[in-house]
């Protein structure tokens, strides 16, 4: 059995590959059509494969590792194919969204062991910070959208920026991070206090709270 510390060292590289493929490389067309059109789903899985491959490269990467990246892509396809086949309203809820993402993370366990001897090209600290940046920007945004709204999701690039800055500041200086969060809380509190929309109020509050805790916990745990 491999040392769990070794597997935990590897985890951020697969996590980053997943986040880039599942969020950054997934445009609105793919997101809307992958659960309805098998060809679009296959395109999505190919992008996942490309992303996972790029971030798993390093000295010692060979045919065995390539086959396991392919295996990971197959597992991703099977998980997403479940949603493709699902016609139940539950598959459009935030609970299903969390289950779906947890299954993707668990799939890493089937492929990480052969990478224990790979000397990855990217610096691990950089990979961790990038993971939390993308997690904050996209995962939190989608989760809050599912919790607070039944409408069409719209990308909030300014919100992405604010949430992506947080883990960078926390990595370099927790004190600066605290100051930043206090400053950001002022407009957040203003919205909470004056907004007449419960949905907007809840959305702003959840984005702030989730970003605060994710920046601290994910960065701290993965580093």
Residue of 45 and 3 predicted with greater confidence:
45
The Cα 109–Cα 190 span in angstroms is: 44
| 115-152 residue pLDDT tens | 998 999 999 999 999 999 999 999 999 999 999 985 67
Integer Cα distance of 39 and 173 in angstroms: 45
Query: What's the confidence (pLDDT) of residue 132?
Result: 98
Mean pLDDT of the chain: 92
- Non-local (6+) Cβ contacts of 100 within 8 A are 79, 80, 83
Dist CA 151 CA 11 (whole Å): 34
Q: What burial class does residue 158 get, using C-beta atoms within 10 Å of its C-beta: 0-12 exposed, 13-18 middle, 19+ buried?
A: exposed
Strands 119-120 and 58-59: antiparallel
Specify burial of residue 111 (Cβ count, 10 A radius: 0-12, 13-18, 19+): buried
User: 187-204 b/e with 16+ CB inside 10 Å = b?
Assistant: ebeeeeeeeeeeeebbbb
DSSP conformation class of 88? S
Q: What is the mean pLDDT of residues 150-178?
A: 90
pLDDT band at residue 1 using 50, 70 and 90 as cut-offs: very low
The DSSP H or E segment spanning 68 is helix 63-85
Q: Residue 5 pLDDT more than 70?
A: no
Domain ranges of the chain: 1-121, 123-223
Tokens 């990308």 correspond to 155
- How many CB atoms within 10 Å of residue 106? 11
Higher pLDDT, 214 or 199: 214
**Does 86 have pLDDT greater than 90?**
no
Is residue 55 within 8 A of residue 127, CB to CB? The reply is yes
Closest residue by Cα to residue 55 from 130, 136, 4: 130
Residue 107 has pLDDT above 90, yes or no: yes
Phi, psi of 23 (to 5 degrees): -125, -60
Give the per-residue pLDDT at 4.
Answer: 55
Contact by Cβ (8 Å): 127, 13: yes
Helix (H) or strand (E) holding 58: strand 58-59
Per-residue tokens: 217? 């916990």
């Amino acid at each position: 059995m491999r040392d769990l510390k070794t597997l935990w060292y590897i985890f951020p590289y697969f996590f980053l590959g997943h986040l880039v493929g599942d969020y950054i490389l997934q445009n609105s067309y793919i997101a809307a059509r992958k659960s309805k059109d098998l060809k679009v789903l296959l395109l999505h899985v190919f992008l996942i494969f490309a992303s996972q491959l790029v971030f798993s490269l390093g000295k010692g990467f060979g045919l065995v590792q390539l086959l396991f990246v392919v295996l990971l892509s197959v597992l991703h396809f099977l998980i997403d194919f479940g949603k493709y086949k699902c016609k139940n309203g539950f598959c459009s809820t935030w609970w299903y969204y969390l289950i779906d993402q947890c299954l993707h993370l668990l799939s890493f366990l089937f492929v990480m062991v052969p990478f224990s001897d790979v000397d990855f090209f990217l610096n691990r600290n950089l990979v961790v910070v990038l993971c939390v940046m993308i997690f904050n920007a996209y995962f939190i945004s989608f989760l809050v959208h599912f919790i607070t709204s039944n409408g069409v999701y719209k990308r909030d690039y300014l919100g992405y920026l604010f949430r992506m800055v947080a883990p960078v500041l926390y990595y370099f200086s927790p004190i600066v991070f605290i100051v930043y969060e206090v400053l950001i809380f002022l407009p957040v509190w203003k919205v909470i206090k004056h907004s007449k929309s419960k949905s907007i109020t809840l959305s702003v509050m959840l984005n702030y709270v989730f970003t605060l805790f994710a920046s601290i916990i994910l960065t701290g745990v993965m580093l």
